[in-house]
Amino acid sequence: MARLLVVEDEARLRAYLTRTLSTDGHLVDGAGTGPEAVRRLREDAYDLIVLDLMLPGFDGFEVMRQAFELRPEQRILVLSAVVDVATRVRCLRTGAVDFLGKPFATAELIERVRSRLRTAPVGAPQRWLRVGNVALDLERQALGIDGQQIPLSHREFMLLGHLMRQAGQVCSRHELLAGVWGYSDDLASNVVDVTVRRIRGKTPRPIIETVRNVGYAFSAC
């Protein structure tokens, strides 16, 4: 599950792109002007920007310039009705990883987005821990599930990460106490159960299974 920013001044198209990419399993924000796009980029990190060139405030090239100042490894897919060769070349030379002209086929856009997300910048640290259709954002300490991004406390993040890395296995309470809290022998502590309940209270569907008298297991189903 990736975090995307759609920058498009036409409101109906922006809503369509946001809905389409969200349905494909991504977390998507939208911006309708150049300044709004840069404000969002200053506030959040995005795996990919889908960027129109003709924008109010300032154009897509200025958005690209400021985006690369903030994150040199930023990936940008330009989606524009300006499709002449000179514009395409300028976009690629500026640093865009792809260019798709308008009008476009939705299926092609989806596949291009998927393709560019698979091509991570060389040397970039892992951003997401994914199991099935559940993703843990390692930078923001948040859970991505069913198109939602759910903030987690530090202990919730650590416990869920431990379970996801051991997906398919049962983790005992003793193991979780040691791995998440650093306890070695406090078997009477109920912090594991309390933290699991808090995570369950935040998620739209169950992702942690209780194994009676043993512990817990991650379940993406």
Task: Answer yes or no: is pLDDT of 184 > 70.
Answer: no
User: How would DSSP label each residue in 127-159?
Assistant: -EEEETTEEEETTTTEEEETTEEEE--HHHHHH
| Averaged confidence pLDDT in the chain | 89
Residue 114: per-residue pLDDT: 93
Task: Answer yes or no: is pLDDT of 123 > 60.
Answer: no
Q: pLDDT of 25-50, one tens digit each?
A: 999 999 999 999 999 998 888 999 99
- Express as a percent the part of the chain with pLDDT over 70: 93
Q: Is 29 exposed, middle or buried (0-12, 13-18, 19+ CB in 10 A)?
A: middle
The domains of the chain, with CATH numbers, are: 3-118 (3.40.50.2300), 128-218 (1.10.10.10)
Q: Is 87 left (phi over 0), alpha (psi -120 to 50) or beta?
A: alpha
| Dist CA 174 CA 186 (whole Å) | 8
Is 0.75 surpassed by the pTM of this model? no
Q: Is 127 exposed, middle or buried (0-12, 13-18, 19+ CB in 10 A)?
A: middle
Instruction: Report the 10 Å Cβ neighbour count for 34.
Output: 22
User: For residue 192, how many C-alpha atoms fall within 13 Å in the half-sphere facing its CB?
Assistant: 25
214: CB partners within 8 A, 6+ apart:
170, 172
Q: What is the mean pLDDT of residues 161-165?
A: 93
Residue 81: per-residue pLDDT: 92
Q: pLDDT of 132-156, one tens digit each?
A: 778 888 878 899 887 788 999 999 9
Q: pLDDT of 76-119, one tens digit each?
A: 999 999 989 999 999 998 889 999 999 999 999 999 999 998 87
